[in-house]
Structure 1
Amino acid sequence: MIPYGTGRPLLTPVDQDGARRSARLRILGLGERADASFDSFDAFADRVAEVTATPFSIVNFIDENRQFFAGLHTPAGIRDGADLAAAATVGSRYLARDHGYCPHVLVRRKALVLEDVCDYPRFAGNPVVDGIGIRSYLGAPLIDRTGVALGTVCAVDTVPRAWGRAGLDTIKLLAREIVVQIERREASSP
């Protein structure tokens, strides 16, 4: 862990692959802004929420500085992220790089299951716990054909959840599905 100037430990892991990922996201046209071409990511986030029965789900691309919610499902159904305002920039789909658990998944390159984030001191103090009320997290990395972890797909809840092995298998399967969509998108672009 790297200390902040205040002596408080930095809980977000150091990302050694950030520059490579950012370059790959630019090539793919992902991670910068939401437009009509991102509707499929929103639809996929809706599907993740339905399959996992969670109030929030996200297809998240992470560059060196921030997270971008290309696909977003929220309880209120607001696509611009306004109902994440306590943790995100109001009216946007961006979140600071050190908020949430997706940066951990990205660096680990493995799925992460947190049945109750408050059971883990490293995760309990994350700004999304108080800002959004997140108590449970299930996420998997989006690793493309080049081996770059582009981001994550995740499902989160405001109550503790016993995800179990079935939840882990489900989020891994969903991650593979969205990677296939990203690769098809790349193959069909001019």
Structure 2
Amino acid sequence: MTYDPTGHLLLTPVDHEAPARVRRLRELGLGEQPDPAFDEFAHRLAEVTGAPFSMVNFIDENRQFFAGLHTPAGSHSGTDLGANAGGVGRFMARDHGYCPHVVVRRKALVLEDVCDYPRFAGNPVVDEIGIRSYMGAPLIDRTGVALGTICVVDTDVRPWGRAGLETIKAMAAELVEQIHRREDGMF
């Protein structure tokens, strides 16, 4: 986390790996369009965690792209997430949400109540979308690049606990294996 020249706290971490990530995503053909397999994975992730919203998220230098998306309405548009902001859709600015932190940290992040953490409570998704809890894990592929994340969010506080942390990490590893099988032509 850094400060800008005017002394304001920047909520989005500096991401030095972004150019390598973009190259790797292009090699894999990921991060540019919705993917039915990732939508299905996001649906299963929501079922396993009991979360109303789940995403398979690839991040470049400027934005986040939800290649897989599950919402309570069962749609893949994201329009039922954040009625105040008119919905999120498949794209989100890089300075919104918590996945950019997970990618830079390269570690899972569990926020049972985002308002308990001053560093995260000021994120635009709190006021604009109403996010109150988050759980995400990085998708680190065989080349060592953090491609993005899988995550679940809720508009209510959620006691994810250690079980939630272990689940999100295991499911991230499962999706990375699926991506590797796809790359190897076995998918």
Q: What TM-score comes out, normalization by structure 1 length?
A: 0.91
Matched residue, 1:125: 122
Answer whether contact 2:141 2:180 (CA < 8 A) is retained.
Answer: yes
Q: Which runs of 4+ in 1 moved over 4 A?
A: 85-91
RMSD over aligned Cα atoms:
1.9
Matched residue, 1:79: 76
Matched residue, 2:111: 114
Q: What displacement does 1:64 show?
A: 1.1
1:183 aligns with 2:175: no
Letter in 1 for 2:138: P
Letter in 2 for 1:113: V
- For structure 1, the residue ranges without an aligned partner over 5 or more in a row are none
Describe the shift of the 1:6–1:118 C-alpha distance in structure 2 as closer, same or farther (beyond 3 A).
same
Answer whether contact 2:52 2:154 (CA < 8 A) is retained.
Answer: yes
Answer whether contact 1:89 1:95 (CA < 8 A) is retained.
Answer: no
Segment drifting more, 1-10 vs 69-78? 1-10
Answer whether contact 2:85 2:129 (CA < 8 A) is retained.
Answer: no
Which of the residues 137, 153, 163 maps onto 1:166? 163
Describe the shift of the 1:120–1:175 C-alpha distance in structure 2 as closer, same or farther (beyond 3 A).
same
* 1:78-157 to 2 correspondences below 5 Å: 78-84=75-81, 92-157=89-154
Matched residue, 2:26: 26
| Percent identical residues | 70
Answer whether contact 2:113 2:157 (CA < 8 A) is retained.
Answer: yes
Describe the shift of the 1:17–1:32 C-alpha distance in structure 2 as closer, same or farther (beyond 3 A).
same
Segment drifting more, 48-57 vs 77-86? 77-86
Q: For 1:157 and 1:65, how far apart are their aligned partners in 2?
A: 24
1:11 aligns with 2:14: no
Answer whether contact 1:81 1:88 (CA < 8 A) is retained.
Answer: no
Answer whether contact 2:42 2:69 (CA < 8 A) is retained.
Answer: yes
Q: What TM-score comes out, normalization by structure 2 length?
A: 0.93
Segment drifting more, 2-11 vs 113-122? 2-11
Q: For 1:53 and 1:70, how far apart are their aligned partners in 2?
A: 20
Matched residue, 1:48: 45
Matched residue, 1:2: 2
Give the SS at the match of 2:31.
coil
Segment drifting more, 15-24 vs 68-77? 68-77
- For structure 2, the residue ranges without an aligned partner over 5 or more in a row are none
